[in-house]
Copies of this chain bind each other. A is one copy, B any other.
Amino acid sequence: MDVEKKVLEMLKPKREEYELIENVYKKIAEKIEEKASSSGIQVEVTLQGSIAHDTWLSGDRDLDIFVLFPLTMTLEELRAKGFNILLEAAKEIGRYELRFAEHPYVRVFLNGVEADLVPAFKVPDPGKIVSAVDRTPFHTEYINKTLTPEDKDQVRLLKKFMKTIGVYGAELKTKGFSGYAVELLVAKYKSFRKILEEASNWEIPIFINTLENVDWEVFKKKLRRKYPDSVIYMPDPVDPLRNVTANVSLKTLSTFILGARCYLNSPSIDFFNAKPQPISIDEVVKHSTNRCLVVLKYTLSDPPPPDVLWGELQRVETNVVNLLNNRDFEIMDSSTWTNEKDVAYIILEASLCSIPEYKLYIGPRVTVRERSESFISKHSQNEYGPWIGKDGRLRSLRKRRTYSIVDALRELASEYNSPPHLKPITPSVSRLHLEIAEEIVEKGGYAWLVEFVLKKPSWMAKCTG
């Protein structure tokens, strides 16, 4: 328990941080209101997300400012006039960027704080939402009415724990738990400890009832039908048929379960401190000697929004692994990373970069007449055989077209490289070497590369005595 107390002292935002945030928010809100009123449109500027919930971590200074427009506007009007109000405001506030998720929005930077200005509709209840962002104010309302200040500290602990073991964040980059999912877990189980205790016994798929007054068995079936591929189901109390944890992957959930067990086994500050292993890039590259680590690099000129980009990269990664497995390469691990700006990498580890030049085909026993005849005629032009093995089966050795993994990846690019934004880009393929490793580091992928090469999460060492 001591660990958690100590950690919490670090995690809770300081008085000055609250004040800074408050000031920034006020300035932005005023500017938006000014722009709105001069456009003659009535808006409500609201604070949402972890700051509004008071579940944010010290150091995280990301404001979610939702500007609620009247439902009398059309979605087109919102995206044109409404968005323009935010843009005009942003121009007068400071540095800004246009962003696009399901919805276009504006990001502004002020006094070291990053604020997203999101246009949304003010709807009377969650059943009336036009787009997902309209649901957010109801989450804020639900959390603030449900969680006590003590609960919110438990949220902070769980968030930080999840960040450290790499399972926090619902984007495709992480396929993990959203902040709201963490808050709902605390609403359900009350304490960080209790959640870990529960998680350490989870069986997959797991169903967590966040609702009152439902026939849970019936409801589970409905959720399952709507989200057949989910590994964890947690309905949104604000919109019950929505699974808040729909995006959590099997790997992420498994990591959380194991992480929970490890922590309970020996609670330590290491679980709240994502320090990358201190290792030089030379040493990382040295670790790749006598292993087969291969990097595909995509140079991006006009990348799509992050979730689209990550989704396409992950699809390519899956394609690549399947194609290589079919070609007899044993792919032991793979991962994807992008800085979401100008470059993306897929890294693979195979057991061999060159597989045997000849492939062994084992046919039927000669007593299986038709199949053995067809084996012989099919393999009669092979380099070696057919011959009969000691087990009475026909065998043959055929030369492979490609036995180098780098060649195979170059040859098969048109097959795996199918997603729309990546299709026009020819990935460059090479084994991991110092130059490309340095480039990855320079682009911001140090932690990702080190984790892939070393495969030693520091917290996992704590799992067993």
Contact = CB atoms under 8 A, between A and B. Distances in A.
| Oligomer copy total | 2
Interface string A248-261: 01110111011001
A397 B350 CA distance: 11
A455 B260 CA distance: 57
A3 interface: no
Given A291-B357, A291-B358, A464-B377, A204 B392 contact: yes
A15 interface: no
A451 to B, nearest CB: 8
A406 interface: no
Contact of A388 (B251, B290, B456): B251
Interface string A367-398: 10100110011001000111111111001010
Nearest to A289: B357
B455 A332 contact: no
Contacts of A366: 254-255, 257-258, 261
A465 to B, nearest CB: 8
A445 B102 CA distance: 75
B333 A388 contact: no
Contact of A250 (B357, B385, B390): B390
Interface string A323-338: 0000000101100000
A401 to B, nearest CB: 14
B384 A455 contact: yes
A352 interface: yes
Given A250-B392, A390-B251, A454-B384, A360 B365 contact: no
- 10 closest residue pairs by CB, A with B: A254-B392, A377-B464, A351-B356, A384-B455, A250-B392, A258-B366, A290-B357, A387-B455, A254-B366, A385-B455
